């Protein structure tokens, strides 16, 4: 088994852990990092995650400097611009990519690479997604949450349902708002009603159609059109197999009709 590891999280945690603040006197503070300490912490995490996920090897997935979601929603993750990054983060990213088997793909986030690889039919039952990011619950397959030390499986139905839930609720961390006034509890009620309407005749594709109808109606009640719902659904979508054209280096935007 191959551990597909969300390397962005590991690099951030390793860099942040290596920071030390020193108070020299009543007036002077300094902040410093030992890069070697961050490297060791990163290496330890990779080893531990791979072992606890029950895997033999690993592939590290990294976010590219360009981000296709900003073309869909320019404000995507703009809320993070002013946040200070750990001192040695860029160096740890560079070191990690040079010293571990890694994947970085133009315009994609590390999450998208995890999604593409995990849903590749040739990789079925050969990989485990290793992350603490709840967004990856939109990807069917085997998962390992290394913060909770939890192994679990996400079905196609659960993945599609979570994608629509994210479309309704948005994600403040990632800077997309979803539908105004809709939280997780309300989103669940809306989507559960769609499931009930489709029982017992609807297959997953038909259910997805019912989900989308419910999402569009909810946005309409908030005074927003289907186009706004589509923008939110697209940025919430973690890419799956077939949704990225490698030769053209272009994302195939999610479409509710497919």
pLDDT score at 126: 95
**pLDDT greater than 90 at residue 79:** no
Q: What is the DSSP pairing of strand 29-33 with strand 19-23?
A: antiparallel
Band of pLDDT at residue 216, cut at 50, 70 and 90: very high
**pLDDT greater than 90 at residue 26:** no
Per CATH, the homologous superfamily of domain 2-154 is 5'-nuclease (3.40.50.1010)
β-sheet with 141-145: strand ranges across: 102-103, 57-61, 2-6, 127-130, 141-145, 150-154
Which residues have CB under 8 Å from 257's CB, separation 6+? none
The total of other beta-carbon atoms located within 10 Å of residue 216's CB is 18
Q: Where are the domains of the chain?
A: 2-154, 156-245
**pLDDT greater than 80 at residue 134:** yes
pLDDT digits (tens, 9 = 90+) for 156-173: 999 999 999 999 999 988
pLDDT score at 158: 97
Q: What is the DSSP pairing of strand 244-245 with strand 250-251?
A: antiparallel
- Positive or negative, the CA dihedral 7, 12, 15, 18 is negative
Location of structure tokens 């939109």: 138
pLDDT digits (tens, 9 = 90+) for 95-132: 999 999 999 999 999 999 999 999 999 998 899 999 99
pLDDT score at 174: 86
pLDDT score at 89: 96
pLDDT digits (tens, 9 = 90+) for 218-227: 999 999 999 9
pLDDT digits (tens, 9 = 90+) for 164-206: 999 999 998 888 999 999 999 999 999 999 999 888 888 999 9
Same fold, 2-154 and 156-245: no
CATH fold of 156-245: DNA polymerase; domain 1 (1.10.150)
């Amino acid at each position: 088994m191959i551990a597909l590891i969300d390397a962005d999280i590991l690099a951030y945690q390793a860099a942040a852990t290596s920071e030390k603040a020193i108070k020299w006197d009543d007036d002077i503070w300094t902040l410093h990092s030992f890069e070697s300490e961050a490297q060791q912490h990163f290496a330890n995490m990779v080893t531990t995650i791979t072992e606890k996920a029950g895997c033999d090897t690993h592939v590290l997935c990294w976010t590219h400097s360009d981000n296709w979601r900003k073309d869909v929603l320019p404000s995507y993750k703009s809320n993070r611009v002013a946040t200070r990054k750990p001192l040695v983060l860029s160096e740890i990213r560079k070191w990690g990519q040079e010293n571990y088997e890694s994947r970085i793909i133009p315009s994609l986030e590390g999450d998208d690479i995890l999604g593409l690889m995990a849903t590749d039919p040739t990789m079925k039952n050969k990989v485990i997604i290793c992350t603490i990011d709840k967004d990856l619950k939109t990807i069917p397959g085997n998962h390992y949450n290394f913060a909770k030390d939890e192994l679990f499986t996400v079905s196609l139905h659960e993945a599609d349902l979570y994608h629509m839930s994210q479309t309704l609720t948005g994600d403040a961390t990632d800077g997309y708002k979803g539908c105004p006034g809709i939280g997780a509890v309300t989103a669940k009620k809306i989507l559960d009603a769609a499931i009930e309407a489709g029982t017992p005749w609807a297959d997953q594709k038909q259910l997805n159609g019912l989900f989308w109808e419910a999402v569009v109606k909810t946005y309409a009640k908030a005074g927003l059109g289907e186009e706004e719902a589509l923008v939110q659904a697209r940025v919430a979508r973690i890419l799956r197999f077939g949704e990225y054209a490698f030769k053209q280096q272009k994302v195939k935007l999610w479409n509710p009709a497919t």
